């Protein structure tokens, strides 16, 4: 895979719709003889990602990623959530990914959308950027520290809303696989 883009549309201040292109920084593929795309990390800004998409019933969004200044910001967020009684909002982490090399914390917002706070990733501003390929069974892909992802990681994602009518789109089994 040399290129992958994801196009969304947003309403400009003039009321007209404009496209917003995303570019692939990293992806995971299966170990099959004919590998299948399992997940992809897409960006608009020059960090490692803004959104992550995984295979499965969809269309659905796995998570949105938000860059923070440093590891202390992530640890502070975890401390604040725990001290205010929101420890159940912490889904995973803190930890360090192989993918993106980022220090991370995954949260669930009140609507149950998954959000990643991350830092320590790499700059991907080079226009000739080639996406980093990971194999699904690579042990360092998920985390350097060995903590497994919770079951919700693989089975839950946010539904996508249509830009045309504002209704949740129907989901279906993936075409690949």
- Going from N- to C-terminal start, the domains of the chain cover 5-159
Q: What is the mean pLDDT of residues 79-99?
A: 93
- pLDDT higher than threshold 70 for residue 12: no
In this predicted structure, the answer to whether residue 101 has a pLDDT above a threshold of 70 is yes
Q: What is the pLDDT of residue 150?
A: 82
C-alpha dihedral over 162, 63, 99, 25, to 10 degrees? 30
Classify 5-159 by CATH class: alpha beta
Of residues 92, 8, 109, the one with CA closest to residue 50? 8
């Amino acid at each position: 895979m040399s290129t992958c883009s994801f196009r969304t549309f947003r309403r400009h201040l003039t009321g007209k719709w404009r496209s917003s292109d995303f570019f692939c920084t990293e992806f995971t593929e299966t170990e099959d003889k004919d590998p299948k795309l399992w997940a992809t990390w897409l960006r608009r800004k020059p960090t490692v990602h803004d959104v992550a998409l995984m295979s499965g019933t969809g269309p659905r969004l796995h998570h949105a990623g938000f860059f923070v200044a440093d590891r202390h910001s992530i640890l502070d967020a975890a401390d604040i959530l725990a001290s205010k009684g929101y420890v159940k909002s912490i889904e995973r982490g803190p930890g360090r990914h192989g993918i993106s090399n980022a220090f991370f914390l995954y949260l669930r917002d009140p609507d149950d959308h998954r959000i990643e706070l991350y830092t320590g990733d790499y700059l991907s501003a080079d226009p000739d950027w080639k996406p980093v390929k990971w194999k699904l069974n690579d042990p360092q892909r998920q985390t350097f520290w060995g903590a497994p992802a919770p079951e919700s990681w693989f089975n839950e994602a946010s539904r996508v809303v249509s830009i045309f009518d504002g209704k949740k789109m129907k989901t279906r089994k993936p075409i690949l696989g």
